[in-house]
Chains A and B, each alone.
Chain A
Amino acid sequence: MFMKDRMRSQLIIKHTVIAFVIIILFGVAQDAYAAQPLNISPNNIPDADLNGPYFQTFTGSGGTGLYTWAHAAGTLPTGLVFTPATATISGTATAAGTYSFTIRLTDSTGAFLDEIYSIKVSVGGCYFTGGTTGSISFSTIDPSTTPGPILGTVTQQVNFICKNTFPYTVTANSASGWTMASGGNTLAYTPGFIASGTGTGAAVPLFTNTSQILQVDYMNAVAGLYVNTQPVNFTIAWTGGGGGSIVATLPAGSVSGTVINTCAVSQSPGTLTFNIDPSVAGTTSATVTPDMQIKCTKNSTVSVSALSACGGLDSSYPLCGGALIPYMFNFLPGVVGQGFAAGISLNVGGTATSANYENAPVGSYGDLQTLTITY
């Protein structure tokens, strides 16, 4: 019993395979000798803008011999006409409404195909071609940048199309104002976007790479990652044809930038010059004129270290190894950044004691101090 069923299954499978092959061969042979059915493309055509230009071409395929086109039934929008010789609909739609009509394609054998189309005629305006949310990045915001402004880059664009040469304007509003926030700190910015224009039917990027932060705003910013905490809406409003508006958005968190900790020398130091009279007992002091000043990111913790090239005032400087006068190189080892509006003096100076110079040979001495400012 088991063996019999198994044989029957094998036979069925074998017959099925043979029948499938025959069907495929038959299908190929039939397609090779039969005409393609008539077809009209496109299957759908665009709607028309009220009082806007309209043009649409149809193409036919399949069938036999020459084609003949006709507006077979229905009503075209007022102002639009079908031209059989060119298989086109053209003109200016002058009445709003939805219109259905039939276009007929006939071949030389008399076979024909009717295709029903619909055109909605409405007031032309603006619409988005993709998403309606964008994003802007200021990337790294170096508060020492001068003169500014720092520009942002569009990282996610919103594109829109306006038709009918209607003028449009874009207005932006934000519930929290034009600010980004980092903790309790805020940073003002201005978004860059197309403010106005005239519809051309072509896609227009809403945001531009002109978003900016002014130097007066970032120069005293505290370090941190700043983002907008409230969404910003951009209303694209057009006039003409009754007018209308659409809205795009910069969602909360989509405008961002990082203020970095940095320092810059705002006043280069002069040379620290000792005029050593070896007969003077006690100490001989020297100051840098002009004094060294730095500007650092507001509230940043700045540490300063110094490294002497020769380990003292050296008579062989810029080489080292000559007669050496040890001295104290003085500076502020740490400061708190005050932003880039005002410089911070590092109080660079030096002191040499008579015990170290009273027997020093006459001559010129030098050293080089490298101040490393870490923040």
Chain B
Amino acid sequence: MKKILVVAAVEMMVMALAGGVFAAPPLDVQVGVNAAVTNKCAVTSPGALNITIDPELTVDQPFTPLEPVAHCTKTKGGMDASITAESTNAGTTSNTGTLVGSLDSGAGNPIPYTFTFNPTVVGNGFGAGAPVAFGIGGSVASGDAQVAEYGSYTDTVTLTLAY
């Protein structure tokens, strides 16, 4: 048994020598890797506000919001994306979270309404289940609803996210 061990040791030495005779030491090279994750918001599906105005009601009538689905990059310091809303019919803009818009039927008797939104949002990234909440809402004041004519009214509100 001892003899076999000795032979094995010698063979290992020879192999080590043979491997090292013609070889220089390994070479190390460093590669720098940089990445920049950009600030980004994207709306993946638009929203809508619907309301059926009942002129008989004496209370303000809220919209039924369909929240648009948007995603923004999560920011380190909680940097917000600011939102500005603009009513196409009324020509008004707001970045405070409240916008006075105008529903128009085309017949010349518009219905004023209040459009509410979150003026700032914090990104949560683009992963599933992390959409930005715009906090869309709105209502038509009861006084305006009571004098509204029959018809179908629309307005387009453009939300601009600055980030």
Once bound together, how far apart are the Cα atoms of A279 and B21, in whole Å? 54
User: Of A75-83, A158-166, A359-367, which binds chain B?
Assistant: A359-367
**How would residues 247 to 274 of chain A score, 1 for a CB under 8 Å from any chain B CB and 0 otherwise?**
0000000000011111111001101111
**How would residues 78 to 117 of chain A score, 1 for a CB under 8 Å from any chain B CB and 0 otherwise?**
0000000000000000000000000000000000000000
Q: Which of B18-32 contact A (CB under 8 A)?
A: 21-24, 26-32
**How would residues 311 to 333 of chain A score, 1 for a CB under 8 Å from any chain B CB and 0 otherwise?**
00101000000010101010000
**Do B27 and A265 touch across chains, with their CB atoms under 8 A apart?**
yes
| Cβ contact of A276, chosen from B33, B35, B42, B127, cutoff 8 A | B35
A170 near B: Cβ within 8 Å? no
B126 near A: Cβ within 8 Å? yes
Q: Closest CB of chain B to A312's CB: distance in Å?
A: 9
Q: A260-B24, A265-B27, A277-B40 are in contact. Are A272 and B33 (CB under 8 A)?
A: yes
**How would residues 277 to 298 of chain A score, 1 for a CB under 8 Å from any chain B CB and 0 otherwise?**
1110100001010001010000
Closest to A276 in B: B37
**How would residues 100 to 126 of chain B score, 1 for a CB under 8 Å from any chain A CB and 0 otherwise?**
000000000000000000000001111
What size tier do the contact residues of chain A reach? 35 or more
Q: Closest CB of chain B to A135's CB: distance in Å?
A: 20
**Do B29 and A366 touch across chains, with their CB atoms under 8 A apart?**
no
Residues on B with C-beta less than 8 A from A278 are 37-38, 40, 73, 125-126
Closest to A371 in B: B29
Interface centre among B27, B38, B123 (most CB of A within 10 A): B27
Interface centre among B29, B42, B74 (most CB of A within 10 A): B29
Q: Closest CB of chain A to B162's CB: distance in Å?
A: 15
Q: A313-B35, A350-B33 are in contact. Are A359 and B125 (CB under 8 A)?
A: yes
Closest to B71 in A: A279
**Do A272 and B73 touch across chains, with their CB atoms under 8 A apart?**
no
Once bound together, how far apart are the Cα atoms of A225 and B21, in whole Å? 9
**Do A277 and B38 touch across chains, with their CB atoms under 8 A apart?**
yes
A138 near B: Cβ within 8 Å? no
**Do A373 and B27 touch across chains, with their CB atoms under 8 A apart?**
yes
Closest to B128 in A: A358
A9 near B: Cβ within 8 Å? no
Interface centre among A277, A315, A374 (most CB of B within 10 A): A277
Closest to A261 in B: B23
Q: A260-B22, A362-B74 are in contact. Are A370 and B29 (CB under 8 A)?
A: yes
Q: What total count of A-B pairs have CB within 8 Å?
A: 156
Q: Closest CB of chain B to A119's CB: distance in Å?
A: 57
**Do B33 and A369 touch across chains, with their CB atoms under 8 A apart?**
yes
**How would residues 332 to 375 of chain A score, 1 for a CB under 8 Å from any chain B CB and 0 otherwise?**
00000000000000001010101101111111111111111111
Q: Closest CB of chain B to A204's CB: distance in Å?
A: 36
Q: Closest CB of chain A to B22's CB: distance in Å?
A: 4
Q: A274-B36, A275-B38 are in contact. Are A362 and B27 (CB under 8 A)?
A: no
Q: Closest CB of chain A to B4's CB: distance in Å?
A: 31
Residues on B with C-beta less than 8 A from A263 are 24, 27
Residues on A with C-beta less than 8 A from B34 are 271-274, 364-366
B39 near A: Cβ within 8 Å? yes
Once bound together, how far apart are the Cα atoms of A25 and B23, in whole Å? 73
Residues on A with C-beta less than 8 A from B95 are none
| Cβ contact of B76, chosen from A358, A363, A366, cutoff 8 A | A363
Closest to A272 in B: B33
Q: A261-B22, A359-B127, A375-B23 are in contact. Are A292 and B37 (CB under 8 A)?
A: no
**Do B32 and A271 touch across chains, with their CB atoms under 8 A apart?**
yes
**Do B33 and A359 touch across chains, with their CB atoms under 8 A apart?**
no
**Do A367 and B40 touch across chains, with their CB atoms under 8 A apart?**
no
Q: Closest CB of chain B to A145's CB: distance in Å?
A: 11
**Do B35 and A274 touch across chains, with their CB atoms under 8 A apart?**
yes
**Do B37 and A260 touch across chains, with their CB atoms under 8 A apart?**
no
Q: List 26 A-B contacts (CB under 8 A).
A: A142-B24, A260-B24, A263-B27, A269-B29, A269-B31, A271-B32, A272-B32, A275-B35, A276-B35, A278-B37, A278-B38, A278-B40, A279-B73, A288-B31, A313-B33, A352-B35, A357-B37, A362-B76, A365-B36, A366-B33, A369-B30, A369-B32, A370-B30, A373-B27, A373-B28, A375-B24
Not counting A329-B33, A361-B37, A366-B35, a sample of 4 additional A-B residue pairs whose C-beta atoms are within 8 angstroms of each other reads A262-B23, A276-B37, A362-B75, A365-B37
